Amino acid sequence: MNEKLKYKLGNTILLSAKIGIGASVAIYIAELLDLQYATSAGIITLLTLITTRWGTFRLSVQRLLTYIASVIICWLVFSIVPSMWIEYGIFLFLVVLMTEWLGWKSTLSVNAVIGTHFLTTQDFSMKFAINELLLVVIGISIAIILNLFHINSTHENGIIHSMRHVEHEMKKILEEVAGYLLQQSAGVRAWDDVIKLEKELEEYVELASEYHHNTFQTHQDYYVAYFEMRMRQCGALHNLHSEMRRMQQMPKQAHIVADFIMDITQYVTEMNDPKKQIEQLERILEHLRNEPLPETHEEFEARAELYHVLMDLEEFLLYKKRFVEEIDETQFRVYWKREIEGK
Protein backbone atom coordinates (compact mmCIF):
# COMPACT_ATOMS: atom_id res chain seq x y z
CA MET A 1 0.00 0.00 0.00
CA ASN A 2 1.51 3.37 -1.03
CA GLU A 3 1.83 6.34 1.34
CA LYS A 4 -1.10 8.26 -0.15
CA LEU A 5 -3.56 5.38 0.23
CA LYS A 6 -2.21 4.62 3.69
CA TYR A 7 -2.80 8.22 4.77
CA LYS A 8 -6.32 8.33 3.30
CA LEU A 9 -7.28 5.08 5.03
CA GLY A 10 -5.82 6.22 8.37
CA ASN A 11 -7.47 9.63 8.06
CA THR A 12 -10.86 8.11 7.23
CA ILE A 13 -10.70 5.73 10.20
CA LEU A 14 -9.63 8.55 12.54
CA LEU A 15 -12.36 10.91 11.30
CA SER A 16 -15.01 8.19 11.65
CA ALA A 17 -13.85 7.47 15.21
CA LYS A 18 -13.82 11.18 16.12
CA ILE A 19 -17.34 11.70 14.75
CA GLY A 20 -18.74 8.60 16.48
CA ILE A 21 -17.11 9.35 19.84
CA GLY A 22 -17.62 13.11 19.64
CA ALA A 23 -21.32 12.98 18.77
CA SER A 24 -21.98 10.44 21.54
CA VAL A 25 -20.11 12.46 24.17
CA ALA A 26 -21.87 15.67 23.11
CA ILE A 27 -25.30 14.06 23.47
CA TYR A 28 -24.30 12.56 26.83
CA ILE A 29 -23.18 15.95 28.19
CA ALA A 30 -26.35 17.65 26.88
CA GLU A 31 -28.48 15.02 28.61
CA LEU A 32 -26.52 15.43 31.86
CA LEU A 33 -27.35 19.14 31.73
CA ASP A 34 -30.99 18.20 31.05
CA LEU A 35 -31.08 20.22 27.82
CA GLN A 36 -33.95 19.99 25.38
CA TYR A 37 -33.11 18.53 21.93
CA ALA A 38 -29.93 16.97 23.36
CA THR A 39 -29.34 14.95 20.17
CA SER A 40 -28.74 18.20 18.26
CA ALA A 41 -25.47 18.62 20.18
CA GLY A 42 -24.24 15.44 18.47
CA ILE A 43 -25.25 16.74 15.04
CA ILE A 44 -23.43 20.04 15.69
CA THR A 45 -20.31 18.08 16.67
CA LEU A 46 -20.49 16.04 13.47
CA LEU A 47 -20.95 19.10 11.25
CA THR A 48 -18.04 20.90 12.92
CA LEU A 49 -15.64 17.94 12.89
CA ILE A 50 -15.62 17.49 9.11
CA THR A 51 -13.14 20.34 8.67
CA THR A 52 -9.44 20.85 9.26
CA ARG A 53 -8.06 21.95 12.64
CA TRP A 54 -7.94 25.63 11.70
CA GLY A 55 -11.28 25.25 9.92
CA THR A 56 -12.84 23.99 13.16
CA PHE A 57 -11.72 27.07 15.10
CA ARG A 58 -12.92 29.43 12.38
CA LEU A 59 -16.24 27.61 11.93
CA SER A 60 -16.84 27.56 15.71
CA VAL A 61 -16.54 31.34 15.95
CA GLN A 62 -18.82 31.74 12.95
CA ARG A 63 -21.42 29.40 14.48
CA LEU A 64 -21.53 31.43 17.70
CA LEU A 65 -21.89 34.74 15.89
CA THR A 66 -24.55 33.54 13.46
CA TYR A 67 -26.41 31.82 16.33
CA ILE A 68 -27.02 35.20 17.95
CA ALA A 69 -28.25 36.64 14.66
CA SER A 70 -30.46 33.59 14.02
CA VAL A 71 -32.14 33.90 17.44
CA ILE A 72 -32.97 37.54 16.71
CA ILE A 73 -34.38 36.58 13.29
CA CYS A 74 -36.44 33.79 14.92
CA TRP A 75 -37.88 36.20 17.44
CA LEU A 76 -38.77 38.80 14.81
CA VAL A 77 -40.27 36.41 12.26
CA PHE A 78 -41.98 33.80 14.45
CA SER A 79 -43.70 36.38 16.63
CA ILE A 80 -45.15 38.29 13.68
CA VAL A 81 -46.08 35.75 10.96
CA PRO A 82 -49.09 33.57 11.91
CA SER A 83 -48.50 30.52 9.64
CA MET A 84 -45.82 28.00 10.65
CA TRP A 85 -44.72 26.99 7.14
CA ILE A 86 -44.53 30.63 6.02
CA GLU A 87 -42.62 31.53 9.19
CA TYR A 88 -39.94 28.96 8.55
CA GLY A 89 -39.64 29.87 4.88
CA ILE A 90 -39.08 33.54 5.72
CA PHE A 91 -36.63 32.57 8.49
CA LEU A 92 -34.57 30.41 6.10
CA PHE A 93 -34.63 33.13 3.43
CA LEU A 94 -33.15 35.66 5.86
CA VAL A 95 -30.60 33.23 7.34
CA VAL A 96 -29.41 32.09 3.89
CA LEU A 97 -29.17 35.74 2.85
CA MET A 98 -27.07 36.50 5.93
CA THR A 99 -24.72 33.52 5.65
CA GLU A 100 -24.19 34.00 1.90
CA TRP A 101 -23.46 37.70 2.37
CA LEU A 102 -20.94 36.94 5.14
CA GLY A 103 -19.44 34.01 3.22
CA TRP A 104 -20.30 31.68 6.12
CA LYS A 105 -22.53 29.22 4.28
CA SER A 106 -21.15 26.31 6.33
CA THR A 107 -23.04 27.64 9.39
CA LEU A 108 -26.42 27.36 7.65
CA SER A 109 -27.24 23.76 8.62
CA VAL A 110 -26.89 24.33 12.38
CA ASN A 111 -28.85 27.59 12.24
CA ALA A 112 -31.62 25.80 10.33
CA VAL A 113 -31.81 23.14 13.09
CA ILE A 114 -31.87 25.80 15.83
CA GLY A 115 -34.66 27.54 13.92
CA THR A 116 -36.81 24.39 13.97
CA HIS A 117 -36.46 24.24 17.76
CA PHE A 118 -37.75 27.79 18.17
CA LEU A 119 -40.45 27.15 15.58
CA THR A 120 -41.69 24.04 17.40
CA THR A 121 -41.65 25.45 20.92
CA GLN A 122 -42.46 29.10 20.14
CA ASP A 123 -40.44 29.73 23.29
CA PHE A 124 -38.34 32.91 23.13
CA SER A 125 -37.46 33.05 26.78
CA MET A 126 -33.88 33.60 27.96
CA LYS A 127 -33.88 30.09 29.44
CA PHE A 128 -34.61 28.43 26.09
CA ALA A 129 -32.16 30.69 24.24
CA ILE A 130 -29.45 29.59 26.69
CA ASN A 131 -30.54 25.96 26.14
CA GLU A 132 -29.89 26.35 22.41
CA LEU A 133 -26.65 28.22 22.99
CA LEU A 134 -25.38 25.41 25.23
CA LEU A 135 -26.15 22.87 22.49
CA VAL A 136 -23.98 24.87 20.10
CA VAL A 137 -21.20 25.39 22.67
CA ILE A 138 -21.12 21.69 23.62
CA GLY A 139 -21.05 20.60 19.97
CA ILE A 140 -18.25 22.92 18.88
CA SER A 141 -16.22 22.38 22.07
CA ILE A 142 -16.13 18.61 21.58
CA ALA A 143 -15.21 19.15 17.91
CA ILE A 144 -12.34 21.52 18.80
CA ILE A 145 -10.94 19.08 21.38
CA LEU A 146 -11.13 16.06 19.06
CA ASN A 147 -9.69 17.92 16.08
CA LEU A 148 -6.53 18.51 18.10
CA PHE A 149 -5.84 14.83 17.39
CA HIS A 150 -4.61 14.39 13.84
CA ILE A 151 -2.17 12.00 12.14
CA ASN A 152 0.15 14.85 11.17
CA SER A 153 3.30 12.73 11.29
CA THR A 154 1.87 10.13 8.89
CA HIS A 155 0.46 12.93 6.76
CA GLU A 156 3.84 14.66 6.51
CA ASN A 157 5.60 11.39 5.70
CA GLY A 158 3.11 10.86 2.87
CA ILE A 159 3.79 14.36 1.54
CA ILE A 160 7.57 13.84 1.63
CA HIS A 161 7.16 10.51 -0.17
CA SER A 162 5.08 12.32 -2.81
CA MET A 163 7.83 14.95 -3.21
CA ARG A 164 10.40 12.25 -3.90
CA HIS A 165 7.99 10.61 -6.39
CA VAL A 166 7.52 13.93 -8.23
CA GLU A 167 11.28 14.44 -8.46
CA HIS A 168 11.78 10.91 -9.80
CA GLU A 169 9.07 11.38 -12.44
CA MET A 170 10.43 14.79 -13.47
CA LYS A 171 13.92 13.34 -13.93
CA LYS A 172 12.46 10.58 -16.08
CA ILE A 173 10.60 13.11 -18.25
CA LEU A 174 13.75 15.18 -18.77
CA GLU A 175 15.70 12.07 -19.74
CA GLU A 176 13.02 11.24 -22.30
CA VAL A 177 13.22 14.79 -23.70
CA ALA A 178 17.00 14.46 -24.00
CA GLY A 179 16.54 11.13 -25.78
CA TYR A 180 14.14 12.80 -28.23
CA LEU A 181 16.70 15.52 -29.05
CA LEU A 182 19.30 12.82 -29.65
CA GLN A 183 16.71 11.03 -31.84
CA GLN A 184 16.91 7.99 -29.61
CA SER A 185 13.16 7.98 -28.87
CA ALA A 186 9.90 9.29 -30.33
CA GLY A 187 9.32 11.41 -27.24
CA VAL A 188 5.57 10.65 -27.10
CA ARG A 189 5.78 9.02 -23.68
CA ALA A 190 7.36 12.15 -22.16
CA TRP A 191 4.27 14.27 -22.84
CA ASP A 192 1.91 11.58 -21.54
CA ASP A 193 4.04 11.47 -18.39
CA VAL A 194 3.82 15.27 -18.00
CA ILE A 195 0.01 15.15 -18.16
CA LYS A 196 -0.07 12.29 -15.65
CA LEU A 197 2.30 14.14 -13.31
CA GLU A 198 0.18 17.30 -13.47
CA LYS A 199 -2.89 15.35 -12.33
CA GLU A 200 -0.91 13.84 -9.46
CA LEU A 201 0.39 17.28 -8.47
CA GLU A 202 -3.17 18.61 -8.20
CA GLU A 203 -3.85 15.88 -5.60
CA TYR A 204 -0.59 16.61 -3.79
CA VAL A 205 -1.43 20.33 -3.55
CA GLU A 206 -4.73 19.39 -1.87
CA LEU A 207 -2.99 17.03 0.56
CA ALA A 208 -0.37 19.66 1.40
CA SER A 209 -3.06 22.32 1.89
CA GLU A 210 -4.96 20.01 4.24
CA TYR A 211 -1.78 19.38 6.22
CA HIS A 212 -1.11 23.13 6.40
CA HIS A 213 -4.58 23.73 7.89
CA ASN A 214 -4.17 20.89 10.39
CA THR A 215 -1.02 22.29 11.98
CA PHE A 216 -0.34 25.32 14.13
CA GLN A 217 3.04 26.09 12.51
CA THR A 218 2.70 28.80 9.87
CA HIS A 219 5.73 27.51 7.93
CA GLN A 220 3.95 24.36 6.79
CA ASP A 221 2.64 26.13 3.68
CA TYR A 222 6.12 25.26 2.40
CA TYR A 223 4.78 21.98 1.04
CA VAL A 224 1.97 23.72 -0.85
CA ALA A 225 4.51 26.12 -2.38
CA TYR A 226 6.74 23.19 -3.37
CA PHE A 227 4.03 21.32 -5.29
CA GLU A 228 2.77 24.53 -6.92
CA MET A 229 6.33 25.21 -8.10
CA ARG A 230 6.49 21.74 -9.65
CA MET A 231 3.15 22.37 -11.39
CA ARG A 232 4.57 25.52 -12.96
CA GLN A 233 7.60 23.54 -14.08
CA CYS A 234 5.25 21.06 -15.78
CA GLY A 235 3.76 24.04 -17.63
CA ALA A 236 7.26 24.95 -18.85
CA LEU A 237 7.71 21.37 -20.07
CA HIS A 238 4.44 21.64 -22.01
CA ASN A 239 5.76 24.75 -23.75
CA LEU A 240 9.00 22.90 -24.48
CA HIS A 241 6.97 20.10 -26.05
CA SER A 242 5.22 22.55 -28.36
CA GLU A 243 8.54 23.96 -29.53
CA MET A 244 10.02 20.52 -30.21
CA ARG A 245 6.97 19.38 -32.19
CA ARG A 246 7.49 22.27 -34.60
CA MET A 247 11.01 21.09 -35.51
CA GLN A 248 11.00 19.80 -39.08
CA GLN A 249 14.57 18.56 -38.69
CA MET A 250 16.86 18.14 -35.72
CA PRO A 251 19.72 20.71 -35.72
CA LYS A 252 23.24 19.41 -35.24
CA GLN A 253 23.53 21.48 -32.02
CA ALA A 254 20.69 19.44 -30.44
CA HIS A 255 23.19 17.15 -28.72
CA ILE A 256 24.54 20.14 -26.73
CA VAL A 257 21.05 20.86 -25.38
CA ALA A 258 20.45 17.15 -24.74
CA ASP A 259 23.65 16.95 -22.68
CA PHE A 260 22.55 20.01 -20.73
CA ILE A 261 19.17 18.43 -19.99
CA MET A 262 20.86 15.25 -18.77
CA ASP A 263 22.98 17.41 -16.49
CA ILE A 264 19.82 19.08 -15.10
CA THR A 265 18.36 15.70 -14.14
CA GLN A 266 21.05 15.34 -11.48
CA TYR A 267 19.74 18.44 -9.71
CA VAL A 268 15.98 17.85 -9.67
CA THR A 269 15.97 17.79 -5.88
CA GLU A 270 14.01 19.58 -3.19
CA MET A 271 16.52 22.22 -2.12
CA ASN A 272 18.94 22.61 -5.02
CA ASP A 273 19.48 26.21 -6.11
CA PRO A 274 19.81 26.04 -9.93
CA LYS A 275 22.08 29.09 -10.11
CA LYS A 276 24.96 27.09 -11.65
CA GLN A 277 22.64 25.44 -14.17
CA ILE A 278 21.32 28.87 -15.24
CA GLU A 279 24.90 30.10 -15.70
CA GLN A 280 25.67 26.97 -17.73
CA LEU A 281 22.63 27.68 -19.91
CA GLU A 282 23.93 31.20 -20.58
CA ARG A 283 27.24 29.73 -21.74
CA ILE A 284 25.40 27.37 -24.10
CA LEU A 285 23.43 30.27 -25.56
CA GLU A 286 26.65 32.21 -26.09
CA HIS A 287 28.19 29.18 -27.78
CA LEU A 288 25.22 28.84 -30.15
CA ARG A 289 25.43 32.53 -31.04
CA ASN A 290 29.03 31.98 -32.15
CA GLU A 291 28.10 29.00 -34.32
CA PRO A 292 28.14 29.48 -38.14
CA LEU A 293 24.84 30.81 -39.50
CA PRO A 294 22.34 28.26 -40.86
CA GLU A 295 22.67 27.56 -44.59
CA THR A 296 19.07 26.58 -45.36
CA HIS A 297 15.64 27.84 -44.35
CA GLU A 298 14.84 24.53 -42.62
CA GLU A 299 18.09 24.65 -40.68
CA PHE A 300 17.33 28.25 -39.66
CA GLU A 301 13.87 27.29 -38.33
CA ALA A 302 15.27 24.27 -36.46
CA ARG A 303 17.96 26.45 -34.84
CA ALA A 304 15.29 29.02 -33.82
CA GLU A 305 13.15 26.31 -32.23
CA LEU A 306 16.21 25.06 -30.36
CA TYR A 307 16.67 28.55 -28.92
CA HIS A 308 13.03 28.47 -27.76
CA VAL A 309 13.65 25.09 -26.11
CA LEU A 310 16.51 26.66 -24.16
CA MET A 311 14.22 29.54 -23.14
CA ASP A 312 11.69 27.04 -21.82
CA LEU A 313 14.44 25.28 -19.91
CA GLU A 314 15.49 28.61 -18.45
CA GLU A 315 11.90 29.20 -17.32
CA PHE A 316 11.89 25.68 -15.81
CA LEU A 317 15.01 26.53 -13.77
CA LEU A 318 13.82 30.02 -12.78
CA TYR A 319 10.68 28.59 -11.15
CA LYS A 320 12.91 26.51 -8.88
CA LYS A 321 15.28 29.43 -8.25
CA ARG A 322 12.40 31.65 -7.07
CA PHE A 323 11.09 28.86 -4.84
CA VAL A 324 14.47 28.44 -3.12
CA GLU A 325 14.90 32.20 -2.73
CA GLU A 326 11.50 32.53 -1.01
CA ILE A 327 12.26 29.88 1.63
CA ASP A 328 12.56 31.50 5.05
CA GLU A 329 14.88 30.46 7.87
CA THR A 330 12.19 28.49 9.71
CA GLN A 331 11.34 26.43 6.64
CA PHE A 332 15.02 25.80 6.00
CA ARG A 333 15.48 24.48 9.55
CA VAL A 334 12.51 22.14 9.05
CA TYR A 335 14.13 20.83 5.88
CA TRP A 336 17.44 20.10 7.62
CA LYS A 337 15.64 18.52 10.56
CA ARG A 338 13.99 16.12 8.11
CA GLU A 339 17.33 15.40 6.46
CA ILE A 340 18.92 14.59 9.81
CA GLU A 341 16.01 12.33 10.74
CA GLY A 342 16.40 10.54 7.43
CA LYS A 343 13.04 11.54 5.98
Statement to judge: residues 23 and 129 lie in one domain: yes
User: What's residue 239's pLDDT?
Assistant: 83
Decide: helix, strand or coil at residue 321: helix
User: What's residue 190's pLDDT?
Assistant: 76
In order, the DSSP letters of 293-307 are PPSSHHHHHHHHHHH
Question: Which of 93, 116, 146 marks a domain boundary?
Answer: 146
Model pTM? 0.66
Statement to judge: residues 164 and 132 lie in one domain: no
Give the total number of structural domains in the chain. Answer: 2
Statement to judge: residues 247 and 271 lie in one domain: yes
Question: Which of 146, 171, 186 marks a domain boundary?
Answer: 146
Each residue's pLDDT, cut to its tens digit, for the chain (343 residues) gives 455 666 677 778 878 888 999 999 999 999 999 999 999 999 999 988 866 666 777 888 888 999 999 999 999 888 887 777 788 999 999 999 999 998 888 888 899 999 999 988 988 899 999 999 999 999 999 988 888 776 556 677 778 888 999 999 999 999 888 888 877 665 567 778 888 999 999 988 888 887 776 675 555 578 888 999 999 999 998 888 777 777 666 677 788 888 999 999 998 988 888 999 999 989 988 887 777 766 666 666 767 778 888 888 999 999 999 998 887 666 666 665 565 555 4
User: What's residue 302's pLDDT?
Assistant: 67
Closest to 60 (Cα-Cα) out of 131, 141, 132:
141
What domain range is 61 assigned to? 3-146
